[in-house]
Amino acid sequence: MRRLAALLLICALTSPLTLAADEVSFVGYAPRSSQTERDWESKFRDIPDPANLREYMKRMSARPHHVGSPYDKDNAEWILARFKEWGLDAHIETFNVLFPTPKVRLLEMMEPTKFTAKLEEPALAVDPTSNQKSEQLPTYNAYSPDGDVTAPLVFVNYGLPEDYEKLERLGVSVKGAIVIAKYYHSWRGVKPKVAAEHGAIGCLIYSEPHDDGYTVDNVFPNGPMRNPEGVQRGSVMDFASNSPGDPLTPGIGATADAKRLSVKEAKSIASIPVLPISYGDAQPLLAALRGPMAPEEWRGTLAIPYHIGPGAAKVHLKLAFNWDIKPVYDVIAKIPGTEAADEWIIRGNHHDAWVNGAEDPVSGQAPLLEEVRAFGTLLKQGWKPRRTIIYAAWDGEEPMLLGSTEWVEAHADELRQHAAVYINTDGNDRGLLNMGGSHTLEQFINGVAKDIADPETKMSVWERKRLSEIANASADDRKEIRQRADLRISALGSGTDFTGFLDHLGIATLDMAYEGETEQGIYHSIYDDFFWYTHFSDNDFVYGRALSQTVGTAVMRLADAEVLPFDFVDFADTVQKYTRDLQKLLKDKQDEIRERNQELDEGVFKATFDPRKPTVAPPREEMPPHLNFAPMENAGEALARSAERYRKALSAKQSALNGSESSQLAALNTKLIESERTLTNDAGLPRRPWFKHLLYAPGVYSGYGVKTVPGVREGIEQKRYAEAEQEIIRVGKALQDEAALIDSAAQMLESK
Ligand SMILES: [Zn+2]
């Protein structure tokens, strides 16, 4: 379900293909094993075929395949049959989860005029799957509660916490109101959450043409963007404050006999009724608003004056759902390892969609299938991975990571023991390789990206990414990009299936996609289908092939290495950067409050008051205290020292690795696997114990957007300074433990 912001590609890319030099050994490989690996990898990369990707997409997106639908099950069985046909040991694992579907959806304006929203995406003659009405889920937000509310309407921009601060300054309250928010800039489930915290009793979310409609490009079917009736479905489960997965079985697998909460007891269901609408349905409602004009940056591109309300516009929202338990079908395939079968490399993408889901998720699922087919071929040719490889086609990702979270919770003990790395994808388009993940894998994935050819420029996808980053960077950042050996990878928030692996269990994770050259406004609508994808995205499937090549290469290189290719130098650098970021965050906050308090003293707000456009002066705030960052600063330095020591020790030992006894290698690899677990704390983050990683988490008020060092960062952002200081100590301790673990791994290499 992940939808990342599109990047702008503005550079001309003309350099010739420059792939990594052959003679350098891979990290964690003895020279001879490295050469063998290189040969197998190059055989692997020749196999994925765009024609197959096209066929898989056609098949899997032929009919709507949401959780509980006949074609969802059909796809799972079809994927299982392919895994088996290609020679893998595979099975379907079923969980039973709460999945609400709409029974009643009514939205009408009662005053000043009558208007009833259509809430309907029409079939289009040119788009052959858009008419499968009987199988399509209606437009709705999953895990909205039932509700029947009538109230004045208030426009709240994107519905972010700062938007409500602005409303207060404008003297507008949403207490007892229904709010209307635009999609994007925060995850959709945050919008009803923040609205309810401010007293709203209902929430509408609409797709503004300025964000993914005609302001960007022509609308579907003449272009890739959202048409006036297109609606973004999606989950509004409050997962970031609680946990993702089945709301009735938090923390445990939703197996048939699992102990379940009642729907009333489930904490992650949204607190007020919420409905997504198209801009066709939103326009009459917005046009009826009165009250102050919306600030300029809030306004979209509908041909109306954007007022905030409240005023004459009164709306009636009535929603009721079938609160049913539905099966989800995870398709799991296994390639057993040889020397290190107890160390697992896991790779997944979901197969369920909101409707036909050609882009989300099939454009990522099809490359996954091609990877499995290619591995089947290599196994027949004699390739034997050292570690066990597990491939997963998850079900129920869209409602909120149901299939992957339940699997992670059901298998938590063995995963904690065996899982080395999880690699996720969730859809694919055209353009640049986006790399996110654990920074202990930053060097590794940079290395993989150097060996993948970009379909358009023929240079490596790494070089293309590097040059386009230079084209878009500030002067300081350009300098860093040119000097640093590796491109920085982004930290992971949530919004797709890695969440349970990384945030709950502390399994090192990567998440990847090609993106940036496809504009799209069909996300979670009936128009995300084969017709759209083959007209407006990777229509020749060459980026699908590149994704297969990228992820498959990463899986092989992780699975075959004598020593898992974790590296801690980039990691230590990132941790030190995060510490500086947090110090700056606090200082900026202090500066801002100091300035505002001074302006209040000076009478600035009195002087700028316009009685015809009345505003409310901001409240005087207490200055945030200074915090002691020493525990993180000291740990950062310790980490940097251990990281250098480990890198040196591994490189000195590299040529002797294949002479090492397997028990020695196993002991070292066990330590390396532990390195991500060490960054977790069993008690979890403040007020959300399911999230245990101390460095990465989705934000309580950003949703999918990551909060790095979340305990400290959210402590500062939410003005809980004493808690932030406690969290600095907790994070510092975990980082010191990490440094000690890296030191002991270095020592093992030095003493052998
Ligand atoms: Zn998805």
Contact 415, 492 (CB under 8 A): no
Instruction: Using the mean position of ligand 1's atoms as its centre, give its distance from the Cα of residue 63 in Å.
Output: 16
Instruction: Using the mean position of ligand 1's atoms as its centre, give its distance from the Cα of residue 592 in Å.
Output: 39
Render pLDDT for 536-578 as a digit per residue (tens, 0 to 9).
Answer: 999 999 999 999 999 999 999 999 999 999 999 999 999 999 9
Instruction: Using the mean position of ligand 1's atoms as its centre, give its distance from the Cα of residue 24 in Å.
Output: 37
- Cα(627)–Cα(624) distance, integer angstroms: 9
- List Cβ neighbours of 290 (8 Å cut-off, separation of 6 or more): 307, 309, 311, 312, 313
Token readout for 420 is: 């080395």
pLDDT of residue 1: 67
Containing 108, the helix (H) or strand (E) segment is strand 89-111
Contact 387, 344 (CB under 8 A): yes
Instruction: Using the mean position of ligand 1's atoms as its centre, give its distance from the Cα of residue 350 in Å.
Output: 7
Q: Which amino acid is at 527?
A: Y
Looking at residue 327, the DSSP 8-state letter turns out to be: E
Instruction: Using the mean position of ligand 1's atoms as its centre, give its distance from the Cα of residue 5 in Å.
Output: 14
Instruction: Using the mean position of ligand 1's atoms as its centre, give its distance from the Cα of residue 349 in Å.
Output: 8
Instruction: Using the mean position of ligand 1's atoms as its centre, give its distance from the Cα of residue 397 in Å.
Output: 7
Q: What angle do CA 717, 719, 723 make, to 5 degrees?
A: 100
Instruction: Using the mean position of ligand 1's atoms as its centre, give its distance from the Cα of residue 189 in Å.
Output: 16
Containing 376, the helix (H) or strand (E) segment is helix 363-380
- Cα(189)–Cα(183) distance, integer angstroms: 10
Residues of the chain with pLDDT under 50: 4-22
Block residue for tokens 């979890």: 684
Q: Which residues of 94-115 are buried (b: 16+ CB within 10 A; e: fewer)?
A: bbbbbbbbbeebebebeeeeeb
Instruction: Using the mean position of ligand 1's atoms as its centre, give its distance from the Cα of residue 232 in Å.
Output: 13
- Cα(105)–Cα(182) distance, integer angstroms: 19
Token readout for 709 is: 């060092």
pLDDT of residue 14: 38
Instruction: Using the mean position of ligand 1's atoms as its centre, give its distance from the Cα of residue 401 in Å.
Output: 9
Token readout for 251 is: 């923390």
Instruction: Using the mean position of ligand 1's atoms as its centre, give its distance from the Cα of residue 228 in Å.
Output: 23
Instruction: Using the mean position of ligand 1's atoms as its centre, give its distance from the Cα of residue 427 in Å.
Output: 6
Contact 284, 107 (CB under 8 A): no
- Cα(214)–Cα(159) distance, integer angstroms: 22
Render pLDDT for 83-121 as a digit per residue (tens, 0 to 9).
Answer: 999 999 999 999 999 999 999 999 999 999 999 999 999
pLDDT of residue 643: 98
Burial class from Cβ neighbours inside 10 Å (0-12, 13-18, 19+) for residue 311 reads middle
Instruction: Using the mean position of ligand 1's atoms as its centre, give its distance from the Cα of residue 227 in Å.
Output: 21
DSSP secondary structure of 202-231: EEEEE--HHHHSTTTSPBTTTSSBPPTT--
Cα diameter, the chain: 83
Instruction: Using the mean position of ligand 1's atoms as its centre, give its distance from the Cα of residue 313 in Å.
Output: 36
Instruction: Using the mean position of ligand 1's atoms as its centre, give its distance from the Cα of residue 691 in Å.
Output: 21
Nearest Cα to Cα of residue 383 among 420, 337, 347? 337
Instruction: Using the mean position of ligand 1's atoms as its centre, give its distance from the Cα of residue 132 in Å.
Output: 21
Instruction: Using the mean position of ligand 1's atoms as its centre, give its distance from the Cα of residue 363 in Å.
Output: 9
Instruction: Using the mean position of ligand 1's atoms as its centre, give its distance from the Cα of residue 20 in Å.
Output: 32
Instruction: Using the mean position of ligand 1's atoms as its centre, give its distance from the Cα of residue 143 in Å.
Output: 17
Instruction: Using the mean position of ligand 1's atoms as its centre, give its distance from the Cα of residue 425 in Å.
Output: 8
Q: Which residues of 336-354 are buried (b: 16+ CB within 10 A; e: fewer)?
A: ebeebebbbbbbbbbbbbb
- Cα(119)–Cα(588) distance, integer angstroms: 44
Nearest Cα to Cα of residue 693 among 421, 511, 507, 419? 507
Instruction: Using the mean position of ligand 1's atoms as its centre, give its distance from the Cα of residue 706 in Å.
Output: 17
Instruction: Using the mean position of ligand 1's atoms as its centre, give its distance from the Cα of residue 426 in Å.
Output: 5
